[in-house]
Amino acid sequence: LSGEITIMASGEPKSLEYVDPLFQAMGKEIHIISGGVGMGSTVKMVHQLLAGVHIVVAAEALTLAAKAGLDVDQLYDIVKGAAGASWMFCDRGRRMIDSPDKVMSALAIFIKDMDIVYSESKRLQCPTPLASAALQQFISGASLGFAKEDDSSVVKVYETLAGVSVSESQNNNASNIKEGDDIGDYWVLPDGKKEQIVDCADEQRHHLVLSNEYTRVMKVIFPPNDTTWAHRHAEDSLYFFLVDGGLNIINHVKGADPECDCLELGEVRYGTHRSDKPLVHKITNTGDTPMFCIDAEVLKTPPVTSPFPLVAEHHTLIKERDRCRVYKLSLAPGESVTVSYPFFYLRIVLRGSKIKTVIGASAGHSVSWEKVTAMGDEDWCTPGLDINISNVGESVYEQFIAEWR
C-alpha cells in the first residue's frame, strides 16, 4: 500500500484506538464516523451513489456530444475546467474517450455498489431515482458483455443506443471528415448527420461468436425500434434469419433509398460482398420482436471439399452458390439418420430439441453424447464419417448444414 487511501471507520472507541496505527500507515485521510459499527460502510455507500451516478452522467454527456457532432476532446477540456466537472468526469471521461485496454475498476463492481444503494434506500424508504437509473445502465453494460471491462465502458451502452462512438468522435470536424465507403470513412445521412462506418464485427449489435481462417460468425440481435450503426460487410456472407413469425425491417443501404423488407423464419440469404462489392448499410427493426440473425462470412476454401452436393435422407439442399451449399436437416421426434459429411461445415440450429449423436457405430466402436439444442446454436465442424443423429426429444428438430466449397 502507498498510504494514500481514504478510510471511513466506525466501531467501538477502544477498537478504533487500537487499530489507529494501521489506519495512519494505510490512509491519507482517516474519518472516524460516529453511530457505531456499520456507519463507515454507510458513508462508503453514499459516496458510491455519487461516484456511480457521475460515471453514468459522464457517459451520457459525452455520447450526446458525439451524436451532436462535437469534438469530444475539445468538449472534455472545456468541461473539466468548468462548473459542470466532477472528479469522475475528469477521470472516467478521459478513459471513455481514449478506450484504454487496462481495467482500473471493473464495471461489475458498480453493479454491486449501486445495488447496495438500491437495497438500503428501499429499506429506509428513501427514494433514489437517479441511483436506480444508473444501476440499470451498469446492468445494461454487463448484458452487453462488459462486466469485466473498465467501468468507463458503461459509455458503450449509450453508444449502442445512439449509434455513435465517443472514442471515434475526437477532432470530428469538417476538415477531418473523409466521406467514402471504407471503414473509418463517414456516411452523410439524408438528414445531414455524419456517421462513421465500422466493420460489421465492430458494430455493437453484431456479436462475434466464432472466428477461424474459414469463417467469422456473428449473432445479430437488437430490439424493436432500434437501428444499427453504419457498418460494412466486405466478405461474401450467409445470413440465417431466426425470428418466429418473421420480422419487418428497413434496410438503409448507402447510395440507395431505404427499403422495407420482410425476413421469414428459416430464410437463408447469400450476399456477394466480396465477389461483387462491399455492402455499407444500417438496419432498423420495425417489428414487434427482437431481430435475431446469424451472419456467417465465407472467408476461405477449406482443404477438404466435395465436388457433388450431399444426397442423404432428411437432408434438403436449399441454397447453392460457388463458395457454399446449404442443406436443411429435419427430424421428427424418434427419427434418426446416419450420414457422412465429406466437407467442412457450419451447423446452425433452426428448431431445437434433445439430440443424440453417435460417431462410428457401424465400425464396432463408437463415441456418443446427448445435447439439448436451441435456436441459434452454432458449431464449426470438420469432415466426418458414419455420424448417426437421433431426435430423442419431443419436438421437431431442424438445423442448417452450410457446406464450405
Catalytic sites, residue numbers:
44
Decide: 185 and 178 in contact? Cβ < 8 Å. yes
214 is written with which cell numbers? 474459414
Question: To which H or E segment does residue 206 belong?
Answer: strand 206-211
Cα separation of 55 and 90, whole Å? 10
DSSP calls for 310-379: ---TTEEEEEEETTEEEEEEEE-TT-EEEEEE-S-EEEEEEE--EEEEEESGGGT--EEEEEE--TT-EE
Alpha carbon 183 to its chain's center: 19
Cα separation of 317 and 308, whole Å? 12
Bridge partners (DSSP) listed for residue 292: 221
Residue 36's identity, in one-letter code, is G
Cα separation of 5 and 325, whole Å? 62
Decide: 294 and 362 in contact? Cβ < 8 Å. no
**Residue 130: HSE in the Cβ half-sphere, 13 Å Cα cutoff:** 12
| Residue keyed to cell 439430440 | 355
Decide: 208 and 264 in contact? Cβ < 8 Å. no
Q: Are strands 279-285 and 367-372 parallel, antiparallel or unpaired?
A: unpaired
Cα separation of 304 and 383, whole Å? 8
Cα separation of 36 and 32, whole Å? 10
**Sheet containing 259-263, strands listed edge to edge, beginning at the edge strand earlier in sequence:** 198-199, 231-233, 279-285, 247-253, 259-263
Bridge partners (DSSP) listed for residue 330: 398
Cα separation of 348 and 377, whole Å? 6
